[in-house]
Structure formats: C-alpha cells, structure tokens
Structure 1
Amino acid sequence: MQTGTPVPDRAEVLGRAIPFDRTRWLSVLPGGDWWPDELDDCPTVGGRPRVDRETVFGIARRADTPQGRRHLLTAALVWGTGTKAQSVARRARIFTSPRSQDIEAHLASALGLLRREGAEAAYSAFRETRRIKFLGPAFFTKVLYFAGHEQCDPVVAPRPLILDRYVALALRAEAPDEKWRLGGWTTQRYLRYLTFAHDQAQRVGVRPDQIEAALFARGGQLR
C-alpha cells in the first residue's frame, strides 16, 4: 500500500482477540439461545475472556440455521465491541428497538443474498431493504465478513470485508482525492473499498482481510 503499512500474516489476523464481559452481554440479549457456547470456551487473559476472529469464523459456519444466525450476530457484536458498558449498551439497542422482531428475517435475507449474489448485494440489503435498526455498516460488515470471507469465491465476486471508521481513515490517507467519509458509506463506496483491498491483496499475495487488518491498524494511528 502507498503508506507502507505492514501487512500482518493470516495467523495474526485470525488470532486478533478482543476481551468481553459475558455477564453484561447475557443481560442484554433477547434470550440465552442467542449466546454461542464457543464464547464460554474462550481463553481468559487478565481476568477477561477473549474472543478471536478464528472463533467467530467457526460460529459463522452454522449461519445456515436461525439459531446459527443469532449466534453469528452475537459473536460479531461481542468481537467488535470490547468491555465498556456504554459500548455494550449501544449495541444492545439492536435488540430493544420496536422492530427487533425483524432481526432474524433480515439476517436470513441478507445472508442469503451474500451466498447467491455476493457482498455488494448483501451490503445494499442491510443498508436499505433489510435494515436492522441500530446495526450500522461498521457492524453489519462484520457479520458479512465472518459469514462470507472464507466461503465466497473471489473469482465470482469480492470477498466481504469489514469497513469501519478506522479503515475509512486509512483509505482517506491512501486516496485523499476520494474524500472518504467516516460513516454512512453507500453501496458503491463499499464496492470501491472491496475492489481496492482485493487489488492490493492480489498484488502482495495475501488474503483481502490481511489488507483490511493493515488498514485498520493504520487508521488507529491516524485517529
């Protein structure tokens, strides 16, 4: 990449672990059946369990069932949130909104589109016709990433990737003329990001999520 940001190896990407507070999450979920057992088997470091990407990928392999999709959503939220009470409460609004009953149907529809048509169509659905209130792009792209990065055929369509504020900050530095916003990305902008990341991955000889991880690290330096 132009900024010279080092690209982590895949083991480092898969091993990136985030601490979480099990009790806090269980208190905000609609029920115990939303909690995947794998999160109870995560190693504890510094008094907190930590979940890594590889564990969430394992959970995502069950996303072809209603309970599997619930588990995927929970795991993606837990991995992306950390332990702060305010951050967990913000994510919990997803489950307490008046239209929370639509979550499962919208998950099933968007992930079905991901399998059939690819990341662009699924992103558009989550953003528009299958929108889940309080689940914005920074988090629904995590759901798409874990559900499809290892399953999607990159020859047919780009693999889904996470797009959040830190990644956008790095993209801003990579392509200042494109005026990257820090949120609310259109479907076309998401596709532009996927194209950039896949091109970079092919050039360097790595997986696209290694480029995403490098961008995230760069964005953290620029915040």
Structure 2
Amino acid sequence: MRPASATHVALGSMSDVPDHLYRDPMVINRSAEATTPYAALLRPLDDVPAPPENLAEALGDGSAPPPPQKGMTWKREPWARRLSVVPDVDDLLASLPGQVDRATVLESVRKSEAADRTDLAFVATMIWGYGSSGYGPYRTARVLTGGSDAVDPTVLERLRSAARTARTQGALSGFYAMRNLPGRVSYLGPAFFTKWLYFTTATAGPDSDDAAPVLDMRVRDWIATNAGVQLRLDKTWAYHQYLQLLDAWAVRPAGTLSRATVERVIFSLS
C-alpha cells in the first residue's frame, strides 16, 4: 500500500491513444499540460496527501478496475418538451434507457459525434450529468440556444473545438479553452463542461486513460472533506491541482489506474 506520508507528483508522459470517434489518430501529450501559454497561471501542489482510506479501499490494488458506477435515473418527458428545438431529439431520447450509466452515454455520444450531431451528443451528456434533477432540461436548452428560440451554431462549434483541444492537447488545455474566451459557452460552467470533456475524450471506454475527469461540486466537496485539499471549480490552476491528485491516487500497489477511474470512484463515494 501507499505510505501515509505526502507524495510528490509528476505529470504523466506522452502516450499514443486510439481515437474511436474520429478517423485521424490522436496523440495525448500530458507533459504539454504544464508547458502551455497559461503555464504561468498554474499553482502546482508541492505535496499530495495519500489517498483517503475509504478511497484506497474502493480503488483496490490496481490489478483491475473497480466495479462500474451505478447509472443515473432520468425522466424522458421534460427533456422532450424543453429540447424540442433540437432536431431528432425524440429519437435520441427513445434510444436511451431509463437509467443511464457512463458506458451507455459514451456510446450515444460516439454515435452522435460520428454523425456530426454535436447537439445530440451534448444532450446525452447532460442527461447523465443532471440525472433526475428537474432543472436539467431547461438549463441544457439554454446552453444550446443561448437563450434564443433555436440552437446556436456558434455554441456547437465551441463545444466541438473544446473537445478537439482536450483530445489533442490534454484535459487541462480543454478546461482552459472552455473556461476562457473565445471558447467559453454562456450558461455552461465547469461542473458540467468537464462532463462534456469527459464523454468526448474517453475514446477507449469509461476508464479511458485519455479521458478528462469530471470536476463538480460533489467531487470537490468530497476531496475537501476527506483529503483536506480545497479546490475551486472555476480556475484552471485548480483543475491542474485536481489532475495532480488523481495522478497520485491512481498509483496502486499492483498497477496504475486512470484519472477517470479515480474520479468515478470518488463520485460514487460522495
């Protein structure tokens, strides 16, 4: 097991990752995450605490991924009513089960992206993100339309651009792109745009090594309570610290898990 003392963290090295969504091969260079034009803004953690005991137990020894996260329940009718401005949304909603897990949504996002339907891919992502929350359909429609009566094509291009950035330059670059102009999308904050980045970068499945991990209030609050690390949702430097935590905690006695695996286990524990 990992020692109880703090552990220094280094960013991962470059690795080649297959791209199941797009025809061109993808290369993720994690070392580039700290050498971008915004590198001067980062505040790396000098030391990272050992994983909390309950997290270490849930992660296991690293020889195999932990059990999948449970699915999210959702109600089809509010989504159909609020998202009627999205062409073919009824077909998308009909294709999803009443309880959606990461694997199900990831497959839906892949199909929509392959058909150049960023709008449908985003809706599927938000269904998982909001679950049974009653305000999810309204907020999703507001993001896609910018508050107008039709889907805004500039919003779709920003979503596509951020996904491309995260796939080719890494999770941190994707976060920065979505948090700042010109890539920022109105009404879409980090808690939910990291969900978009996750589903558009997890090219090898829910536990994909290249997946940009979700950072929302649920995960942030769990880390603050159990690890004593205070993270902000709205700062690139804080997301960088979050990646450092995940990279350190992913190292297990019998193997190294992905960032996404650690994140989903934290999500389940919260």
TM-score by length of 2: 0.66
> How many residues matched?
204
AA at the equivalent of 2:252: R
Query: Who is 1:46 aligned against?
Result: none
Change (3 A) 1:84 1:116: closer
**Partner of residue 12 from structure 1, selected from 65, 68, 92:** 68
Query: Who is 1:213 aligned against?
Result: 264
Question: C-alpha distance in 2, partners of 1:70/1:175?
Answer: 37
AA at the equivalent of 1:94: V
Change (3 A) 1:35 1:147: farther
Query: Who is 2:52 aligned against?
Result: 2
Shift of residue 89 of structure 1?
Answer: 2.5
Question: C-alpha distance in 1, partners of 2:159/2:115?
Answer: 11
Query: Who is 2:107 aligned against?
Result: 58
Secondary structure in 2 matching 1:7 = helix
Change (3 A) 1:120 1:133: same
**Partner of residue 146 from structure 1, selected from 199, 215, 225:** 199
Change (3 A) 1:82 1:136: same
AA at the equivalent of 2:170: G
Secondary structure in 2 matching 1:210 = helix
Shift of residue 11 of structure 1?
Answer: 4.0
Identity %: 26
Shift of residue 23 of structure 1?
Answer: 1.7
Of 105-114 and 196-205, more deviation after overlay is shown by: 196-205
Question: Is 1:142–1:162's contact at 8 Å kept on the other side of the alignment?
Answer: yes
Shift of residue 180 of structure 1?
Answer: 2.4
Query: Who is 1:27 aligned against?
Result: 81
Question: C-alpha distance in 2, partners of 1:54/1:214?
Answer: 15
Q: Which has the higher contact order (CA 8 A, sep 6+)?
A: 2
Question: Is 1:36–1:75's contact at 8 Å kept on the other side of the alignment?
Answer: no
Change (3 A) 1:32 1:50: farther
AA at the equivalent of 1:194: L
Deviation per CA, 1:26-63, whole angstroms, max 9, x where unpaired? 212222334663x42444xxxxx111110111123243
AA at the equivalent of 2:195: K
Deviation per CA, 1:74-99, whole angstroms, max 9, x where unpaired? 11100111223234323332134247
Question: Is 1:111–1:144's contact at 8 Å kept on the other side of the alignment?
Answer: yes
Pairing of 1:119-138 with structure 2 (within 5 A): 119-129=171-181, 130-138=183-191
**Partner of residue 78 from structure 1, selected from 113, 116, 127:** 127
Structure 1 unaligned blocks of 5 or more: 44-48
Query: Who is 1:103 aligned against?
Result: 155
Runs of 4+ residues deviating >3 angstroms: 8-11, 34-37, 150-154
Question: C-alpha distance in 1, partners of 2:188/2:174?
Answer: 14
Shift of residue 141 of structure 1?
Answer: 0.5
Question: C-alpha distance in 2, partners of 1:125/1:175?
Answer: 28
